[in-house]
Amino acid sequence: MVVKMCLSLGAILWLAGCDPFAAAEPETPSGSLNIPLAALANDVPRIWGDALAARSTERVNAIASEQLVVAQAGKILSGSGLTNCVVERLFNRDSLVAPRWTSSSWTQEPTSSSDTVRATTLYSLSKGEGARLAHGQAIWTVVRVSPSEWRLWRWDDDASSDSSMFSFCQGGVR
Amino acid sequence: MGRTLLRHRLDWFDTSASHLLRVMDTSLFRYAGDPGSWAGESFLHVGFAKRSDSASGISWRLWNRTNGLGAPDPSIAENAWRQWGQVRKAVGDSSLAGAVSLGALLEHVDPGSNSLGISVYQPSPQGLFGAGSWSAEGQWAGLGETPARVAGEWSDLFEGTSLRQTKTVLMGSLQASLAGDGSDTARLVAAHDSVRQRSTYLLTDRAQAQRNAQVSWSLPIGSQNMSVMGLWDRNRFEDYSGRNPGLVRTGVELDAAIRGRLGNGWRHEHSFQWTDEERVWKTPNTGTLLEAELQMAQDRKDQDDIAQRGLVDTIGWSLERWGGVGFALSLAQSLRSIRHPLNETPTTADRPDEDLSKRQLGVDLRWDRLSWSGRSVFTWSTQIQEDVYLRAVHSAQTWERNENRLGLNLAFPVADWFRPNLALWAREQRNVWRFLPDRREGLLEYGTTMGGEVGPTDAPWASLQWTRWQVKTGATVGEAFAPDRIQDEWLPELRGFVRDKSGWNVQPWVKLMWERVTVWDGSEWILDNRTISQRAGVDLRWESLHGILTGSVARVWDHFQADEWIGSMEAGLAW
């Protein structure tokens, strides 16, 4: 009898078009605010940091070039490897504190191409006010992928650093 | 020397006719770094009780922590210890009991240049800190024939400026029959537990409180069984060290299920779950008044309301004939909603309002004769998952996933000495973004693992497993799939088993892992990455009535990392 009651209730809800497990309708996206893009080469570190703070995989993918490579001392991590590392280790929804990224300098090298910039940056990654997860000096190569959009194309960590982002993603900073 | 772990554990009991004496000693030390240094912890516990009254007694605990030993710069070395001695006296029996205890706690810290303080704003403490402690406990079980229990404990270290530890516990339970005839079970459980701890040794300064009440009732309705459960809980966490944000979490949960048999081997089960949770954050104040106000404003914006509901319907059929066959069809539906009611104008950096809706239909076939390992012979499932970001600043991330999975498992013995196994699986996934029509991603994975075990069931001679799978990812165009990345994996593994009558068990093994990633650069497939890792080693185990010895030695040849040796050994002796 209870089974019949449950089946009847389910049939009534289905016929009435009531779906208790359906998601709500989203608002129309508010244009460019959705995924911020780097209009200038030196916007890339800030946009990268904002993407981490927002724990947004979409925004990380939007600022990283599809061919992104992270390298240190001859070893290489692919862009998808970096994204997987960031998502698994920093974007945990149950984590109490959002990741915090700071880039304290941006020294550009002279270059002959107007679509490619190489710059030395000092960075630090932590969780909230807690201890640093990774920090060091890196050379970032950013490329212009459209007239008003720059993306991170290559990330070379300082070869002697034990605490680099490369080390963090390769199994933890020693 | 590379990274090295040294661990020991010693347990010693002396149980004479008049007393019980226990000594437990454990330690774990690590050597790491380049140049290296030692770090580790040790713990010693001694307990003594008279045989006539084992609930009363004395105990002494010693913790020790050290860091940076042997480092080239001796100033980073630190050492800390904590001792707690306690005398406890208990009276009463199983229906009414009480206990009091008196003790003393001492902590000593000798910090190094890298040592942290209790609080992020303060330097590391140095020196000796002490406090007295006392506790009182009570327990009552009664209410006639209805089992009930109320227990309380309160302990307090006499407060010092740097050392404090208090704990209160109160819990009770009640079990009865609402139907009155004992065919059902109704249960009420309530608990309160709070801890306030400030310790120089543990570098903590925090308070935690948990309160919860749960009521449940299960009863038979004809040949069916129904159960309902309601839960309320509230957790409060405050970290005065400034390292973690404070959190007050309040949740309610309602579960209901009905299950039973329908005759001719058919069965059914329907379970429903609903939860609602509120999380209120409090970021520690680390700066100026303006910064504190900004943090409070962000905490208000981050306040989460999380609601979740799920329904799982299963209908199945099984027979013991033909070696045991079975079939199950299940439909699982759920919705998880996250809202931030105090954030009316979210920005891209704020936590998003989100609805995650999932529906999964699955079929499961079982035939024990073909898969004696307990796995289903055939499984198929299809899932639709919709992840909706509601507010305009995030809604472009709204996406949907369609996934289909297939699995086949076969494992059956041939004669008495060969047990082959075969598993095949495939997974297809399509992701689309509602507001980004050009973005469509796909994934196709298929693989197999096969192998077997040779020799008698209780003493095999060798086992071989071969695993191979391929994952293709790329874009989808209509129904077509255009992969731009292919990942190939091979994982063969061979293990042998050698035993003798004196208790030795030796297992030589070899494992290989090959990975190859190729990507489409727009005109041709190019090799993006190749990883080859080969491992070979021997596991040893010796057992007798008086002891146990295990060990392992392995050699790793890695394509990217440095080749290395890995070894471990563990010995135990009982007398």
Domains of chain A, with CATH numbers?
38-169 (3.10.450.50)
Beta bridge partners of B198: B164, B205
Residues of chain A contacting B270 with CB distance shorter than 8 Å: 6
Q: How far is CA B228 from the centre of its chain?
A: 26
Closest Cβ opposite residue B359 in set A21, A24, A54: A21
Distance from CA of A151 to the nearest CA of B (A): 18
Interchain proximity A26–B120, CB inside 8 Å? no
Residues of chain A contacting B355 with CB distance shorter than 8 Å: 23-24
| Banded model confidence at residue A102, pLDDT cuts 50, 70, 90 | confident
Closest Cβ opposite residue B394 in set A1, A34, A50: A34
DSSP state of B142: -
- Listed in sequence order, the residues at least 6 apart from B243 whose beta carbon sits closer than 8 Å to its beta carbon are A128, A129, A130, B120, B284
Distance CA B186, CA B408 (A): 43
Domain termination residue (choose one: B358, B377, B412): B412
B473 and B566 part of one domain: yes
User: Exposed/middle/buried for B419, CB within 10 Å: 0-12, 13-18, 19+?
Assistant: buried
B438 and B469 part of one domain: yes
Residues of chain B contacting A75 with CB distance shorter than 8 Å: 560
CA terminus-to-terminus distance, chain B: 34
B371 and B453 part of one domain: no
**DSSP per-residue codes, chain A:** -HHHHHHHHHHHHHHTT--TTPPPPPPPP-GGGSS--BSSGGGHHHHHHHHHHTT-HHHHHHHEEEEEEEEETTEEEEHHHHHHHHHHHH--TT-SS-EEEEE---EEPP-S-TTEEEEEEEEEEEETTS-EEEEEEEEEEEEEEETTEEEEEEEEE-TT-SSSHHHHHTT---
Task: Mutation target for A interface from B386, B395, B484, B487: give the one with most A CBs within 10 A.
Answer: B395
C-beta separation of B315 from B291 below 8 A: no
B370 and B440 part of one domain: no
> How many independent structural domains does chain B possess?
2
Interchain proximity B258–A97, CB inside 8 Å? no
Interchain proximity A30–B392, CB inside 8 Å? yes
Q: Is-cis flag, bond preceding A29, omega within 30?
A: no
pLDDT at B285: 74
Distance from CA of A59 to the nearest CA of B (A): 9
pLDDT at A93: 47
| Banded model confidence at residue A156, pLDDT cuts 50, 70, 90 | very high
Residues of chain A contacting B258 with CB distance shorter than 8 Å: 2-3, 6
pLDDT at A174: 30
Distance from CA of A75 to the nearest CA of B (A): 7
B372 and B481 part of one domain: no
Task: Mutation target for B interface from A27, A28, A63, A101: give the one with most B CBs within 10 A.
Answer: A27
| Banded model confidence at residue A97, pLDDT cuts 50, 70, 90 | low
Domain termination residue (choose one: B380, B412, B444): B412
B390 and B251 part of one domain: yes
Q: Express as a percent the part of chain A with pLDDT over 90.
A: 16
pLDDT at A40: 87
Task: Mutation target for B interface from A58, A93, A97: give the one with most B CBs within 10 A.
Answer: A58
In a domain, B335, yes or no: yes
Distance CA B510, CA B491 (A): 11
Task: Mutation target for B interface from A52, A101, A129: give the one with most B CBs within 10 A.
Answer: A129
- The two tokens of residue B564 are 């290395």
By DSSP bridging, strand A64-72 and strand A149-157 are: parallel
Residues of chain B contacting A33 with CB distance shorter than 8 Å: 348, 392-393
Element at B299 (helix H, strand E): helix B289-302
In a domain, B535, yes or no: yes
Domain termination residue (choose one: B378, B412, B446): B412
Residues of chain B contacting A50 with CB distance shorter than 8 Å: 348-349
Residues of chain B contacting A56 with CB distance shorter than 8 Å: 348, 397
SS (H, E, C) B35-77: CEEEEEEEEEEEEEEEHHHCCCEEEEEEEEEEEEECCCCHHHC
Distance from CA of A156 to the nearest CA of B (A): 17
B330 and B447 part of one domain: no
Q: Which of B29, B34, B32 is nearest to B7 (CA)?
A: B29
Residues of chain B contacting A97 with CB distance shorter than 8 Å: 244-245
Distance from CA of B395 to the nearest CA of A (A): 5
C-alpha count within 13 angstroms, C-beta hemisphere, residue B160? 18
Chains A–B, number of C-beta pairs less than 8 Å apart:
108
Q: How far is CA B260 from the centre of its chain?
A: 31
Residue A55 has pLDDT above 90, yes or no: no
In a domain, B232, yes or no: no
pLDDT at B82: 94
Beta strands in B147-265 (DSSP E): 148-157, 164-176, 185-199, 204-221, 224-239, 246-263
Residues of chain B with pLDDT under 70: 1-2, 34, 52-54, 142-152, 158-161, 286-287, 372-373, 559-562, 575
By DSSP bridging, strand B564-573 and strand B547-558 are: antiparallel
Distance CA B504, CA B437 (A): 64
What pLDDT digit, counting tens, does each position of B311-348 carry? Answer: 999 999 998 888 889 999 999 999 999 999 999 888 87
Q: What's the average model confidence in pLDDT over A159-164?
A: 85
Whole-Å CA distances, B187 to A42, B227, B251, B254, B256: 63, 11, 20, 15, 15
B365 and B452 part of one domain: no
Task: Mutation target for A interface from B348, B360, B433: give the one with most A CBs within 10 A.
Answer: B348
Per the rule left: phi > 0, alpha: psi between -120 and 50, beta: everything else, B82 is: beta
Distance from CA of A46 to the nearest CA of B (A): 12
| Banded model confidence at residue A33, pLDDT cuts 50, 70, 90 | very low
In a domain, B376, yes or no: yes
Interchain proximity A34–B395, CB inside 8 Å? yes
B261 and B343 part of one domain: yes
Distance CA A22, CA A10 (A): 15
C-beta separation of A156 from A72 below 8 A: yes
B481 and B546 part of one domain: yes
Distance CA B204, CA B487 (A): 46
pLDDT at A173: 38
In a domain, B319, yes or no: yes
Closest Cβ opposite residue A2 in set B33, B258, B391: B258
Q: Which of A23, A21, A26 is nearest to B434 (CA)?
A: A26
C-beta separation of B556 from B542 below 8 A: no
The ipTM is 0.76
Residues of chain A contacting B334 with CB distance shorter than 8 Å: 21
Distance CA A14, CA A159 (A): 62
B439 and B398 part of one domain: no
B283 and B387 part of one domain: yes
Residue A123 carries which side chain, given as an amino acid letter?
Answer: Y
In a domain, B73, yes or no: no
Chain A residues within 8 Å of chain B (Cβ atoms): 1-3, 6, 20-30, 33-36, 50, 53-54, 56, 58-59, 75-76, 78, 80, 96-97, 128-130, 162, 174
Interchain proximity B560–A174, CB inside 8 Å? no
Range of the domain at B258: 245-412
In a domain, B274, yes or no: yes
Q: Which of B337, B335, B338 is nearest to B357 (CA)?
A: B335
pTM above 0.80, yes or no: no
Residues of chain A contacting B435 with CB distance shorter than 8 Å: 28-29
Q: What's the average model confidence in pLDDT over A58-70?
A: 86
3 state DSSP class of B279: strand
pLDDT at B541: 94
